[in-house]
Amino acid sequence: MTQPFRFELLGERNGIRRGRYHTPHGSFETPCFAPVGTRAAMKGLTPDQLRATGAELILANAYHLFLRPGHELIARRGGLHRFMAWDGPILTDSGGYQIFSLAHLSKVDDDGVTFSSVIDGSTKRLTPELALEVQRALGPDIAMILDECPPGNADPAVVRRAHLRTLQWARRARDLHDSWGGASRGQAVFGIVQGGPDPELRAESADAMVALDFDGYAIGGLSVGETKAQMEIALEVAADRLPADRPRYLMGVGTPEDFQTAVRRGVDFFDCVTPTRHGRNNQAFTREGILKLRNLKHAEDDAPLDAACGCVTCRLYSRAYLRHLAIAGEMLGGVLLSIHNIHYFQDVMRELRAEAEG
């Protein structure tokens, strides 16, 4: 029987892995950037607009969809692909990042996490098994295990406890995934390497995750308060220990500078809310750096955001017009800047793929 998931390593140059990951909803080229539609929506963009940027893989958040509208409702509507009208590959995060970002609302123990809903304050419980059951109902191509993500400046004892707990949860998730038939059922499950900025703990976590033989591997717990130097050391140690025939995903890291560093250390794909969040805040990524469109200097500037960019925003609209939208508070401004920023991030990935091909 043909496996529904397959990672092709097409080449490697300057440390960059050029690949292609096949899923039941099509393939995506790597290195790859996945825009984030947390609640099954890319803020301000339709699927067609998103496709036009070159995006192939997108991400949604199982934690938020578990709270609203509920994974059972989405399953009754035909699953996440049908629900949000996206026919390409989808990855869902499990809620591990929310253990970090919403720590004031949650309490973690060895069996799972109890938290107060950000919607109505009701008490909810999430375990490694339920996190996978939620994602099975949502139906993404790639599901993530539940992990504990400590802050980058956490005490070493806290980081070690989170690593050991994540490993314990990973074993439980692996057993459940296997009992359902593994990836042959049409959904891959990725393990997540933790360990904070400690290179020895990162190595220990990576080795333990690889021993569990997941369908792919993520590197989590970075870009959460550690220094750039700490991130690079932890990243290099973890990536070097992951198998070459499985995709490597760096979670929640999302600036072009970070992409350049991580891709040259063997990372295959990324996700982040950065391009749409910056777009909604009237900021554009360009080859000149970040442009702040509310600045007066753009008021009579007829130039596009980036002359080398082929997105619809740069083809049709001037910096002067985009500044007008920003000052006027028109929602179109955030949409156009988000389209540009995602397209720019895809350009970075296209250029890295071209470099790997020679």
Nearest to 167 by CA among 96, 65, 239: 96
pLDDT of residue 357 exceeding 60: yes
* pLDDT per position as a tens digit, 271-317: 999 999 999 999 999 999 999 999 999 999 999 999 999 999 999 99
Tokens found for residue 38: 């947390």
pLDDT band at 230 (very low <50, low <70, confident <90, very high): confident
pLDDT of residue 99 exceeding 80: no
Per-residue pLDDT, 101:
80
The Cα 319–Cα 335 span in angstroms is 14
Place of tokens 């123990």: 109
Per-residue pLDDT, 98:
81
The CA distances from residue 55 to 1, 133, 329, 348, 355, in Å, are 30, 27, 27, 12, 19
Per-residue pLDDT, 1:
45
Q: Are the C-beta atoms of 143 and 71 separated by less than 8 Å?
A: no
DSSP string, 33-47: EEEB-TTSS-TT--H
- Mapped onto helix, strand or coil, the DSSP state of residue 27 is strand
Per-residue pLDDT, 56:
98
Residue 310: CB atoms within 10 A of its CB come to 12
Q: What is the mean pLDDT of residues 323-347?
A: 98
Counted residue by residue, the chain has a size of: 358
> Lowest mean pLDDT: which of 112-116, 171-175, 288-292?
112-116
pLDDT of residue 5 exceeding 90: yes
pLDDT of residue 139 exceeding 50: yes
> Lowest mean pLDDT: which of 5-19, 119-133, 149-163?
149-163
The Cα 250–Cα 272 span in angstroms is 10
pTM for the model = 0.97
Active site residues: 93, 271
Tokens found for residue 263: 């891709």
User: Side by side, which strands form the sheet with 16-23?
Assistant: 6-13, 16-23, 26-30
Per-residue pLDDT, 142:
98
pLDDT of residue 2 exceeding 70: no
> Lowest mean pLDDT: which of 10-24, 50-64, 150-164, 263-277?
150-164
Supply φ then ψ for residue 23, to 5 degrees. Answer: -135, 170
Per-residue pLDDT, 97:
78
* Percentage, residues of the chain above pLDDT 90: 89
Per-residue b or e along 45-80, where b marks 16 or more CB atoms closer than 10 Å to that residue's CB: bebebbebbbbbbbbbbbbbbbbeeebeebbeeebb
Which domains are present in the chain? 6-272 (3.20.20.105), 274-358 (no CATH)
pLDDT band at 151 (very low <50, low <70, confident <90, very high): confident
The CA distances from residue 118 to 101, 182, 274, 355, in Å, are 12, 32, 22, 44
Per-residue pLDDT, 22:
98
Place of tokens 């397209």: 343
pLDDT band at 223 (very low <50, low <70, confident <90, very high): confident
